[in-house]
Structure 1
Amino acid sequence: MVQSPCVRNCCLDTDDVCMGCGRTITEITGWHHAEPAEKQAICQRAAERMQQRRHNIMLRVARQSGTNDSN
């Protein structure tokens, strides 16, 4: 059985992706009907989205701190 990546921190961003687990709204609503192989694929995509989100946040912070250093 594939465990849901849900962390009970549901908040959708402007792309309808959960900021807590990284799943799209379609993936969230279809989870209970998905086959195990599809659940694995959903978990993989969600993990990749969360990794990309963290990367984007780090870039944004680095840019902001670089801007602050030049003042």
Structure 2
Amino acid sequence: MKSPCNDICTIDRPSGLCVGCGRSLSEIAEWGSASPGRKREIFSLLPGRMEQLTAKPKR
């Protein structure tokens, strides 16, 4: 499974999530060794996280 990384690697400090892909630092670190099932699990969380990140007011 292809990584959801899109080269926008910036961590949102309050949430701890990447604003480019929605993964946490631990999920990014484990991606290369994660099982296909774990990758699907992470992928399933990303749409909701990205929605939350983009709904935040910009400072």
TM-score normalised by the chain length of structure 2: 0.82
Partner of 1:7: 6
Q: CA deviation at 1:3?
A: 1.2
Q: Which amino acid aligns with 2:26?
A: T
Instruction: Measure, in 2, the Cα distance between the counterparts of 1:47 and 1:5.
Output: 11
Deviation digits for residues 8-65 of structure 1 (CA, Å, limit 9, x no counterpart): 11000113210000000010000011000110111111222002223x24xx48xxxx
* Unaligned residue ranges in structure 1 (runs of 5+): 62-71
Structure whose residues are more often strand by fraction: 2
Deviant stretches of 4+, over 3 Å? none
Q: How many residues align?
A: 57
Bigger CA radius of gyration? 1
Identity of aligned residues (%): 35
TM-score (norm 1): 0.70
1:66 is matched with none
Q: Counterpart of 2:19 in 1: which secondary structure? A: coil
Higher helix share: 1
